[in-house]
Amino acid sequence: MVAQFGVGLRTDIAVVLLTLPDFLIGLLLSGGFSAALIPYLKSIDQSARVDAVRNVLFFVGIIFSVIAIGIWGFPQEILRILAGAVTISDAALYQQAFMLVGASLPIAALSGVVSAYLNAKASFLLPGFAVIIFNVCICLYLITGLEDPWLFGFAAAVFLATTARFFIQFSGASEIVKSRRSIKLTLNLELARLFIVGILAFAILNSVTIVFRSIFGSYDVGNVAVFNFSIKLFELPTAIIVGPLATVILPSLAKFSQDRTEFHRLLYGGVLAVLSVTIPFSALWQVFGEDVVRTAYQYGNVTDEEVLRIGSTSKVIFLALPFAALVHITSIALAAKTEIMALLKNCSISLGSSVLFASFFPSEASVLFSLVFFFVLLCILNLITLRLFFEASRISFARDIASILAKALTIAILAHYANLLLISSLNHLLVTLFAGLFGIASLLLLLPNFAVLRKYQTSPE
């Protein structure tokens, strides 16, 4: 997308159009569904599970249809909130595209329900494949290079990609339609409470990047695009490693939620596993980040100055990577223990504190460091709530963390000098390939930290 649109107003709008359905999917799948629906579906038999999903599909469809109507009623106002520095006249030009994407929200919401159902069945492949198809649809549109001054064609591509994702996911849940039992619209109050609180807690967690993107975007046109492309790079290791790990261990965490010893042992293993990946990755990004950015974004309508802005922005954001990964794991753990109110409190305190920090020191740099501060504070609060520091042996915990930090520091130092002495004269593509090989070697070095998770592997029902 950056190659097609460059960095500017159109890219800011395109980012909002593209990320709105994905934000909703993340909010539902990681929020209310992780907190309430997935553990609940795991606890009931298949026939009851189908009935429950059909009920949730009905209520979620109604709720997000109302949200879509609200977007249709106030498109310019909502677009200006999400896109930062967009003026009233600019919002009017792009409102039809925004309204079309708004119409896809109920479909995206239903995709979230079906994804949760598939995950409850331990069917993890189909949701991932559906996401790939979504991205392929968007890429195919961008490759065509069609004239699309007001992004209506781009919005249509997002709508069609969202629809395709839903039907692909639904193909793995056909028993929901084939069931001959009539839909009984019943409301489980405890499930509804956990669902609503989970939505609120994870709404804060998943919307934090949108909040800081809007603040960052208010400083200059094009900042929304710069921030978004940096965040996409930041989310890549989380999506590839941390997200699947959290999805797989959630059933085990729920299973051992009443066994404090086993629960903390599994959580401790998850913490070591994500730190083993994210700390070296964060360190390597400080060395190779700008070269990777140039390789990824040097083509099309992107200037060297814009590439440099993305590179410098991503370096600051990547400082938060280990803490963001821990937030992901600990939030899943709190959801498994149904301590959602505690998570909501921690998220609220962290977001409020970080926004105040950004307000007291108004600058682009303070916005980025406020985002880092959010993840650091929330990570600490979640770990305290879970009492991981108190349950684990302090000596063992300190030794394991020190070992990871020492290996990561060694990797970073070697990468730095290799970059200076061996490959400083190579082009950015070769530097990126070298960084990838260095990352693979680092992962192999730290693989022993994943061993503690093996005994908790669970077979699908």
Q: Please, which pLDDT band fits residue 457 given cuts at 50, 70 and 90?
A: very low
370: left (phi over 0), alpha (psi -120 to 50) or beta: alpha
Average pLDDT, the chain: 74
pLDDT given for residue 186 in this prediction? 61
406 Cα distance to chain centroid: 28
109 Cα distance to chain centroid: 16
Encode pLDDT of 248-269 as tens digits: 666 666 666 677 777 777 777 7
Cβ(346)–Cβ(382) below 8 Å: yes
Q: Is the dihedral of CA 156, 176, 195, 62 positive or negative?
A: positive
Q: Please, which pLDDT band fits residue 452 given cuts at 50, 70 and 90?
A: very low
Cβ(156)–Cβ(142) below 8 Å: no
Encode pLDDT of 344-383 as tens digits: 888 889 999 998 988 888 888 899 999 999 999 998 898 8
Encode pLDDT of 297-340 as tens digits: 666 566 777 778 888 888 899 988 888 888 888 887 887 776 77
pLDDT given for residue 309 in this prediction? 84
Residue 296 token pair: 């990824």
Phi, psi of 398 (to 5 degrees): -65, -40
Overall average pLDDT of the 26-31 stretch: 58
Structural domain boundaries of the chain?
A: 1-187, 193-452
Q: Which helix (H) or strand (E) holds 273?
A: helix 260-297
